[in-house]
């Protein structure tokens, strides 16, 4: 990262002039007078995503049932076409990626497929800092196999409540572990795990390993195929701006092609056989086999337009700006918020941090409410975290500068005191 830094508005404006991705900001609907720093929870709507959604609505209007094979974006092949567009972002071949389901449904599908307890290997390894939906799914999978999650879901521990040490995770890869499911990026602190190393260590021990990429896909490059990851899953509505509740994605390493999906449905079929409607499934010979039911076409359609932007911007360029603008945010926090009770809970090293900054304060819930009153959109994560996500495609350096000045004013003027220090219904 560049060493030059000045905590001035003029410096922020100069960085914006030098930003090679700044023109993509015009692609998005940004509410005037508002600074949006919550793209790691829900990305903003782009004009192209709106366009492709409306085109799919028009296909329905114009073609009715024939929209499955006709129109702007034929529905029957939409999941596969989106998989091709997503593949470069996760470092996979087009056949290894499919857009389907939701994060948790896809996790259930993959665990049902790959968790095969046998002999002494009956346990699943996860971690105590992962997003809880993954733990809920793993607990239910264990119960379905007749195991007690209290004894059979092994959680790698954090030494400080913020980060995980790869050495600790590897030490937990005992001969009792049948499957490992870990995050690529920790949802609170933004720490990136060493996916390549963890995969190599799991495979040395004969353990399959998969990753939850919800907080990394669209903000950092991946090499799932080259790293030999067995499977991965993620949502498309955070950094990929696919829309609220948008259809998720999954990756299955081609070495597992031909394995029957644990939960099959008619969209698990090989495309040329699907409408034969035979009583026995002929599964797709790609990641498409891990689809289950009819795709949610109108929730997939915005992703078509969104991924066009990613193809033009380039994930490496997105990562470069993301690192730079998040470093700028941390530099501002260090200089402008010193002595005000704020602590950065995100790794400082470029290689260890994802696309957001985790800012801690004992009054975090109240500060988040006050930020919204000041037209800055963050999100709160218990117990005392403020997540701030400057997104490479639409956040400006001037946005970041202004947000830090507001964070300062809120504490100096004690604006937060009018609010209760509890989260809102949706944090």
CA distance 164 to 188: 12
Secondary structure of residue 105 in the 3-state scheme: helix
> Is position 39 within any domain?
no
Residue appearing with tokens 């390493």: 253
Do 296 and 321 reside in the same domain of the chain?
no
Cα gap 407→411, rounded to integer Å: 7
Neighbours of 163 (CB within 10 A): 18
270/321 same-domain check: no
CA dihedral 82, 88, 89, 93 (to 10 degrees): 80
Check the annotation: does 187 bind a ligand: no
Domain co-membership, 250 together with 188? yes
Residue 192, domain extent: 51-311
CATH number of the domain within which 409 lies:
3.90.1150.10
Domain boundary at 292, 311, 330, which?
311
Q: Residue 212 annotated as binding?
A: yes
Q: What is the DSSP pairing of strand 249-252 with strand 231-234?
A: antiparallel
69 is in an annotated binding site: no
Residue 3 has what pLDDT?
A: 52
Quick: pLDDT tens for 298-318: 999 999 999 999 999 999 999
> Domain for residue 227, yes or no?
yes
Q: Which CATH number belongs to the domain containing residue 62 in this structure?
A: 3.40.640.10
Per-residue pLDDT, 425 = 81
Q: How many domains is the chain built from?
A: 2
Q: Are residues 324 and 265 in the same domain?
A: no
Q: Are strands 208-212 and 153-156 parallel, antiparallel or unpaired?
A: unpaired
Q: Is residue 334 situated within a structural domain?
A: yes
Residues 223 and 283 grouped into a single domain: yes
Domain boundary among 251, 277, 311: 311
For residue 230, give both structure tokens: 């067995």
134 is in an annotated binding site: yes
The DSSP secondary-structure symbol of 288 reads: G
Flag whether 266 is marked binding: yes
What is the residue-level pLDDT of the chain in tens, covering all 427 positions?
A: 455 899 999 999 999 999 999 999 999 999 999 999 999 999 999 999 999 999 999 999 999 999 999 999 999 999 999 999 999 999 999 999 999 999 999 999 999 999 999 999 999 999 999 999 999 999 999 999 999 999 999 999 999 999 999 999 999 999 999 999 999 999 999 999 999 999 999 999 999 999 999 999 999 999 999 999 999 999 999 999 999 999 999 999 999 999 999 999 999 999 999 999 999 999 999 999 999 999 999 999 999 999 999 999 999 999 999 999 999 999 999 999 999 999 999 999 999 999 999 999 999 999 999 999 999 999 999 899 999 999 999 999 999 999 999 999 999 999 999 998 888 887 7
What is the model's pLDDT at position 213?
A: 98
Judge contact between 249 and 278, C-beta under 8 A. Answer: no
Query: Based on the domain organization, do 246 and 268 belong to the same domain?
Result: yes
221/322 Cα distance (integer angstroms): 12
Residues 231 and 85 in one domain: yes
Considering the domain boundaries, does residue 3 fall inside one?
no
132 carries a ligand binding annotation = yes
Boundary residue ending a domain (248, 276, 311)? 311
Read off the pTM. Answer: 0.96
In terms of domains, do 290 and 360 share one?
A: no
104 labelled binding-site residue: yes
Q: Do 233 and 332 belong together in one domain? A: no
Residue 327 belongs to a domain:
yes
């Amino acid at each position: 990262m560049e060493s030059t830094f000045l905590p001035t508005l003029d410096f922020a404006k100069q960085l914006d002039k030098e930003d090679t991705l700044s023109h993509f900001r015009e692609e998005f609907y940004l509410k005037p007078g508002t600074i949006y720093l919550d793209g790691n929870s829900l990305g903003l709507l782009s004009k192209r995503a709106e366009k492709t959604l409306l085109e799919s609505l028009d296909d329905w209007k114009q073609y009715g049932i024939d929209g499955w094979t006709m129109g702007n974006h034929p529905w029957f092949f939409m999941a596969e076409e989106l998989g091709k567009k997503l593949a470069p972002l996760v470092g996979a071949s087009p056949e290894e990626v499919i857009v389907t389901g939701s994060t948790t449904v896809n996790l259930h599908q993959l665990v049902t497929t790959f968790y095969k307890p046998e002999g002494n290997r009956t346990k699943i390894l996860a971690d105590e800092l992962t997003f809880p939906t993954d733990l809920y799914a793993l607990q239910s999978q264990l119960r379905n196999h007749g195991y007690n999650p209290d004894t059979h879901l092994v959680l790698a521990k954090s030494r400080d409540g913020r980060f995980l040490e790869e050495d600790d995770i590897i030490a937990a890869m005992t001969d009792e572990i049948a499957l490992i499911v870990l995050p690529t990026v920790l949802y609170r602190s933004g720490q990136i795990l060493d996916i390549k190393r963890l995969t190599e260590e799991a495979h040395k021990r004969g353990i399959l390993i998969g990753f939850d990429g919800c907080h990394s896909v669209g903000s950092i490059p991946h090499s799932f195929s080259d790293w030999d990851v067995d499977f991965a899953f993620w949502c498309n509505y955070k950094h990929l701006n696919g829309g609220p509740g948008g259809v998720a994605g999954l990756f299955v390493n081609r070495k597992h092609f031909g394995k029957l999906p644990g939960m099959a449905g008619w969209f698990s079929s090989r495309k040329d056989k699907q409408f034969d409607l035979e009583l026995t499934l002929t599964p797709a010979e790609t990641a498409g086999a891990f689809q289950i039911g009819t795709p949610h076409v109108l929730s997939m359609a915005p992703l078509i337009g969104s991924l066009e932007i990613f193809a033009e911007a380039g994930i490496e360029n997105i990562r470069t700006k993301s690192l730079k603008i998040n470093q700028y945010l941390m530099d501002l926090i260090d200089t402008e918020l010193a002595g005000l009770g704020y602590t950065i809970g995100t790794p400082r090293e470029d290689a260890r941090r994802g696309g957001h900054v985790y800012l801690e304060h004992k009054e975090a819930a109240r500060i988040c409410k006050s930020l919204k009153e000041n037209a800055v959109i963050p999100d709160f994560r218990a117990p005392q975290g403020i997540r701030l996500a400057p997104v490479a495609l639409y956040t400006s350096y001037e946005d970041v500068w202004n947000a830090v000045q507001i964070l300062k004013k809120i504490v100096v003027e004690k604006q937060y005191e009018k609010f209760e220090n509890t989260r809102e219904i949706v944090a």
